[in-house]
Every structure is written in structure tokens, then in C-alpha cells.
Amino acid sequence: MILVLKQGTDRDSIDRLCDWLTTKYGVKTNPIIGSEATIVGLVGDTSHIAPQEIEVHEEVERIVKVQEPYKRANRKFHPDNTIIKIGNEEIGGNKIAVAAGPCAVESEEQIVELAQLVKEAGAGLLRGGAFKPRTSPYSFQGMRAEGMLYLHRASNKSGLPVVTEITNPSQIELFIDYADIIQVGARNMQNFELLKELGRVDKPILLKRGFSNSINELLMSAEYIMSEGNSRVILCERGIRTFETSTRNTLDISAIPVLKSKTHLPVIVDPSHAAGYASLVEPLAMAAIAAGADGLEIEVHQNPKLALSDGPQSLTPDVFTALMKKLSVIAKACGREI
């Protein structure tokens, strides 16, 4: 349930109304003072609330029932886009954010050099996995805590904030020290205990869509994080499983405008894991920006043939640099910058 308040309602009246709602109905309130309107979202069981009891408050202009099961992530609760600031970068604003780097951290030299190269190409964030959720237990599992330290050093030297994937709540302390954005991978999108723990962390969360999950399930996973207090969630479309075998996954381009209409959270796209092949990353990245994505996450490696994971879909720094130039043209045509 959402209460749209009359224009010009002052802060004291909003607070008094919120206190009354919480005391009377046991619901949590989420007041949002926007440029156009002030709204108060009610979260919790609102089925027993009679709208007539609320309408008598003179501050209330109108009451809107929210049918969707996600509340805090819902655009109805927060009509303006959420913009998440990390260092000098913003995600969800007019500028398209680009996170680039290797699938996995492989050595200190590798990640320090790549951070510099992707920065020179125009990336604003460094990506790299230290804890790798591999399909096979015999594949490279990542450098783990050592990798986190190297990422941190690469971040310090390049000035780029780091986005890296967590796989278990026991790693949270390490991520608080060394990650700027904590990534939840596709395989953990519905690891609800992990999501709840991350809801209590003061870091932005990059939540990737599970490859067999619907858009509504992705939004419900964002809701798990937000319901614990962390409202800084970035959603990522990274391809879903379909009958098609020509690509590793099928990039769901329509998820971008659908998500943008349902939620105020930033939406980014990972064309690398969607494609599975480096040659497909460029057209998918261009399509993502044209469809309204707020950012991209792209795998880059100095020598993709020797990469310990996801080499076939990794771009060389040169190809990535050329791609960034092409993307700036698309961004401009869409009224955005990169």
C-alpha cells in the first residue's frame, strides 16, 4: 500500500503520520520525498488496513494498493531512479557505468596491469573474481583470500572501485574490507540466507539474475536484501537458459525495459556470460545500451587463450578499448554518456 501525500506536506507531519501507521497497524513505513510528490510506502501485512481509516488524515491525497509482492524494489514506492554512488562513479544516472576485468584474479601482476588497462580504456570499475563458483569442482576455484588482497592492491593503484563475487556468508568480513561492490552471482541469486546477511551490510550489492529465474524472482531476491535495510541493489541481466545452443546463454534484452518499468533500481548487463564468445560481446553490449541499460560488466584478459576461466568470452584490452569507443556513439545516440 502506498499513500500519496498532498504537495507541501512538511517533515513533522510525515513523521507523525508514519508513527501513527506503525503503532496502529504494525507496518514499516518508507517515506520518499521526491521532486514531484511525497509518498509513504507501507511494508508488511496491509491486508487488514481499511483505507477509510487512513483517508481521514488530511495529509493523505490518495491511497494506492500495490499488488506486486516486491515493495521496496517497486517503482511505485520510489518513482525516481535510484542512483548508487561508489567513489567517483555513479550507477543509475545518465552516465553508463562499465565494470571490466578478468573472470578470475590469477596473480597480483595480472590484476594490477589489467586494472590500469581497463581504466585507460574508460572503465570506471574493476571486476574480478577471487571466489569462483565453478560448475566442476576440478576447475580453478579462484585465489580466494589472496585474490581479494590483490584486487585491493589493484584498486588502490588504479583508483578503480572493485566489484567481486561472494559465495558464502562466512566471507562477509573479507568483503567489507576489500570490496566496493559485492556481487551475488547467478548461481546464488536465490541463496536467501546470503541475501539476508547482505541486507545488513553497508555496501552496494550487484545481484545477477539466475539463469533459470524469472524477472519477478530477481525482484524478490532484491527485496530480500532491501527488506533487511540495504537499499543499494544493482540488478544484472546476464543471459538465461533457453533451447538455443549457439550461445552460452540467451541475453534477455527485453528484461532491461521490463525491469526499468517495474523497479527504480539500476539495471546493468553482462554480455560476456550471456554470449560465451568474445566475438558476440560487442553487438550484445551495444544492444544493451540501446535498450536502456545503466551499465555493463565485461570480461577482459591480457591473454584470453591462457585464461584460467572464461577465456573464450574474454576480450583483449585492445578489443575492449575499441569497443568502448563504439559504445560511446551508441550512448550519445541514446542521450547518455559512457
Q: Is 325 exposed, middle or buried (0-12, 13-18, 19+ CB in 10 A)?
A: exposed
DSSP summary character for residue 189: T
Interaction pattern, residues 146-175, with ligand PEP; x per rule: CB under 6 A: -------------------x----------
Residue 76 binding target from ligand PEP, Mn ion, none, CB below 5 to 8 Å by type: none
Position of minimal CB gap to ligand PEP: 185
202-241 binders of ligand PEP (CB under 6 A): 208, 238
- Binding flag, residue 114, ligand PEP (CB under 6 A): no
CA distances from 77 to 8, 24, 104 (A): 19, 21, 37
Residue 208 binding target from Mn ion, ligand PEP, none, CB below 5 to 8 Å by type: ligand PEP
Backbone angles phi, psi at 92, to 5 degrees: 110, -5
DSSP summary character for residue 204: -
Please give the Cα distance from 77 to 42 (Å, whole number).
9
Please give the Cα distance from 30 to 39 (Å, whole number).
8
Task: Select from 98, 100, 105, 186 the one that contacts ligand PEP (CB under 6 A).
Answer: 186
Task: Select from 89, 252, 282, 310 the one that contacts Mn ion (CB under 5 A).
Answer: 310
Residue 123 binding target from Mn ion, ligand PEP, none, CB below 5 to 8 Å by type: none
Please give the Cα distance from 185 to 164 (Å, whole number).
9
Contacts of 318 by beta carbon, 8 Å cutoff, 6+ apart: none
95-154 binders of Mn ion (CB under 5 A): 103
Position of minimal CB gap to Mn ion: 103
268-297 binders of ligand PEP (CB under 6 A): 270, 273
Footprint of ligand PEP on this chain (CB under 6 A)? 103, 129, 165, 185-187, 208, 238, 270, 273
